[in-house]
Amino acid sequence: MDASTGCLSVVMPAYNEEQTIDEIIHRVLARTEVGELLIINDASTDKTWENLQKFADNPRIRLFNQEVNQGKGAALIRGFREAARPFVIVQDADFEYTPEDYPAVLAPLLAGKADAVYGSRFMGTPGQVRFFRHEMGNKFLTFLSNWFSDIHLSDMETCYKAFRREVIQNLKLESCRFGIEVELTAKLARSRRLRIWEVPISYNPRRFDEGKKIGWKDGVAALCHIVRFNLFSSDEASFVRPWDEVLGNNR
């Protein structure tokens, strides 16, 4: 059996994704790396939760329902806490990111070279032409995040972030909405102990009329989060345990 088989907990937040939820679940479960798929329904107002019930008896799927809409960050925090496999990855409930990229994202983790891996949309991979202003906004936020965190990423806002389970579960996370991307990056960087990798991934952007939810207000909020989590956080507010206890004294 391949060492990657069943090693991955996939955390999937879902809000009003009735058009895509069935297909993306099938795509995720087609990957042998996936040991469990944790789906957190964030008080959807469409038939997302109803559609999920057909998967309730699948032993590889765990369903969680948040009765009040709390945001992507809150859903991720719930999923991270529940994850049980050696590695954890974030998967959106649409088709912007393909599970076929799991092997590329997992490779540095499986090789023991990384503690966290970012799948970058901006490392020269082929794909559909993107919206210029949206991409420049992402790159601007990544630049500011890099400046304050002192790590050099090309795509801080990417969905595909993967972690060793003990690493992600050692972060104290609190952002309920899209600020979770900034908070994750700031707190990973703050450790100064974690090995963070980037790998190229493919990307198929969807339009706002297709259900894309992030907007300019989230971009403005991200600016505030960059300053807050990089300049005004402490180790006590960022980590559950000292990293020596989590990683061992050899690093």
Tokens of 19: 């058009």
Residues with Cβ within 8 Å of residue 156, at least 6 apart in sequence: 118, 138, 141, 142, 145, 146, 181, 182, 185
Average pLDDT of the residues in 222-231: 93
Tokens of 144: 């500011």
Tokens of 67: 């009765």
What homologous superfamily does CATH list for 8-247?
Spore Coat Polysaccharide Biosynthesis Protein SpsA; Chain A (3.90.550.10)
Please say if the pLDDT value at position 218 is more than 90: no
pLDDT at residue 123, rounded to an integer: 82
> Picking from 71-85, 120-134, 208-222, which range would have the lowest pLDDT averaged per residue?
208-222
Average pLDDT of the residues in 159-164: 97
> Picking from 71-75, 126-130, 210-214, which range would have the lowest pLDDT averaged per residue?
210-214
The HSE-up count of residue 232 (CA atoms within 13 Å, CB side) is 5
pLDDT at residue 2, rounded to an integer: 82
Q: Are 43 and 15 in contact (CB under 8 A)?
A: yes
pLDDT at residue 1, rounded to an integer: 65
Please say if the pLDDT value at position 251 is more than 80: no
Please say if the pLDDT value at position 213 is more than 80: no
Distance CA 115, CA 246 (A): 11
pLDDT at residue 19, rounded to an integer: 95
Please say if the pLDDT value at position 134 is more than 90: no
Mean pLDDT rounded to a whole number for the chain:
92
Give the pTM. Answer: 0.92
Q: What angle do CA 15, 162, 191 make, to 5 degrees?
A: 115
pLDDT at residue 208, rounded to an integer: 47
Using CB atoms within 10 A of its CB, is residue 158 exposed (0-12), middle (13-18) or buried (19+)?
buried
Q: Which residue has the higher pLDDT, 75 or 221?
A: 75
